[in-house]
Structure 1
């Protein structure tokens, strides 16, 4: 697998594209399934490696997103409750408009 193909697989995995479709795209790029020097299993194994890398990054991405939103809009606030082993128990967020509506209508 070339570095470019690995990067493409990584991108497609992040977009939740199934392995069979990833293989189909790679085969199309190479000119057919017979020209693909690896099989679905190798692509699946590489996808598993990517999933392991991304396993704990989703909460960090959410937190970064919330921090950016808070910097853009001072009325935005959020709270995350975490278990002992850094497992998220709950997430709450609200924006300025929602807070105004809550004050107005309860």
Structure 2
């Protein structure tokens, strides 16, 4: 069972070095990592006992998300930046917008590696 210590205030789960962690996940604070791994394991144990529930939850969540979705472009000094979800994809793409759009990162490609 997961410890309830420090869980009443989730601020401790916000990594101050989140940008560094995006580039190198090994930089994530071990306490945060262990907390997340514990929750993932607990969820896996629970849902492994109810595969029909897992499938129903997944369908419900997918049904609430638009097939194609994108954020309003966030303006920068020279470019604007946008996050897009492609139909059928589980993770977003990150775009730099200018005269021509440039795909900076496709999280789906990384997740499949």
Same fold? TM cut 0.5: no
Q: Which has the higher contact order (CA 8 A, sep 6+)?
A: 1
TM-score by length of 2: 0.27
The structure richer in helix per residue is 1
Q: Answer 1 or 2: which has greater strand percent.
A: 2
| Structure ID, larger Rg | 1
- TM-score normalised per structure 1: 0.28
